[in-house]
Structure 1
């Protein structure tokens, strides 16, 4: 376990994880801007953008989920796919370290980054929307502790599922060692799981996120399982 943590730290330092954190912060600001724009535009048109806080937080979670599924595919492409395509992974495999642990460390960086970033983004955008509502009264009802607690629990469970299902594009990227295939497949995943109709998404059906998370975990396992016998020079 200590070796795995050390490998993860080395991966984060090697690929300058700080630059991705800054990019995530910018993405969060953009999401908040979009949510505010949607809210204010609907108010000006005398329409109803969000009927209550539960619906608003659901829409925010959908925006965040789609953003970080794609974000995770970029990380996968950078940390894993590019190394195989450029054959630079061979240098790592020359070290007396188990190959499975090397790849597992890379994938854990992706999973943990996606998990933390997803939760942080929901909190940031959700709080920003709450402040906006204090001044613009987009939602007339006050935010109660019960709604906030329920939404927070939903966000955590959703982020946990998202962090694993974001590994699904790894399968398509590893087939041809293509970063483009990784990112395009992530967009397809986003199209499937991020449709929100009046606050309802496929994520509302508990079997969907659980099934996709298990599929993502299975993809990660398949990528690691036979890595000791893969000829990266071919």
Structure 2
């Protein structure tokens, strides 16, 4: 399985992917300062409000997930290169599992690094141009790192929402991207639905997990060329 996962990475345009990741990191690490300074100073009033802002910003990596899904699944269908993969002496379910594991690992690791870069950049910027109106304590750091793990896991699950219907079944790149944009922004409009944003995130994670399950479960049938 490890060999299959590594093979998925080798098949991609690695420099292009890493370039895209660096752009995401560069944009996301500066957004907390922008929102506190330009949108609302309330984000800097407490650790909880600032961390909630950082968590919502990290959901932007869901769009990177859509890009990976498009390249790992949709492009292979369109280019017919997936037919070669189906010729391997392994089941399609195992092949799809390897593809999913690669995407999950890549998104999770990218989000972890993004949290670390964003946290460090926010701290350093606050030292130069104070905009946070609370003292950072040891418990804050513990909460940040634990929330980082949980948040990265959630981002990974939400990234898989378009996988089954839009990528494997419909094989539609544009719809996959639109679905990802909708999913990553939906919690920000929780007040419109009169729901707690955390509840919406949990629901999105559930949908992502279901999409993930169906993608692997039906690989032998829906996964046909």
Q: Same fold (TM over 0.5)?
A: yes
Query: Are 1:63 and 2:63 counterparts?
Result: no
Contact 2:168 2:222 in 1 (8 A): no
The RMSD of aligned alpha carbons is: 2.3
Per-residue deviation at 1:202?
A: 4.6
Change in CA separation of 1:92 and 1:30 when aligned onto 2, cut-off 3 Å: same
Q: Distance in 2 between matches of 1:81 and 1:138?
A: 44
Q: What is the TM-score of this pair, normalised by structure 1?
A: 0.84
Match of 1:29 among 18, 26, 36: 26
Change in CA separation of 1:210 and 1:231 when aligned onto 2, cut-off 3 Å: closer
Q: How many residues align?
A: 221
Per-residue deviation at 1:78?
A: 0.6
Q: Distance in 2 between matches of 1:17 and 1:104?
A: 21
Q: Distance in 1 between matches of 2:33 and 2:5?
A: 37
Query: Are 1:132 and 2:125 counterparts?
Result: yes
In structure 1, the residue matched to 2:177 is 183
Change in CA separation of 1:214 and 1:231 when aligned onto 2, cut-off 3 Å: closer
In structure 2, the residue matched to 1:193 is 187
- 1:41-95 residue CA offsets vs partner (Å, 9 max, x unmatched): 469xxx5442123322221121111x11111011001101121233221111112
In structure 2, the residue matched to 1:13 is 10
Q: What is the TM-score of this pair, normalised by structure 2?
A: 0.87
Can you give the 5+ residue segments of structure 1 that lack an aligned partner in the other structure?
Answer: none
- The runs of at least 4 aligned residues of structure 1 exceeding 6 Å deviation read none
Can you give the 5+ residue segments of structure 2 that lack an aligned partner in the other structure?
Answer: none
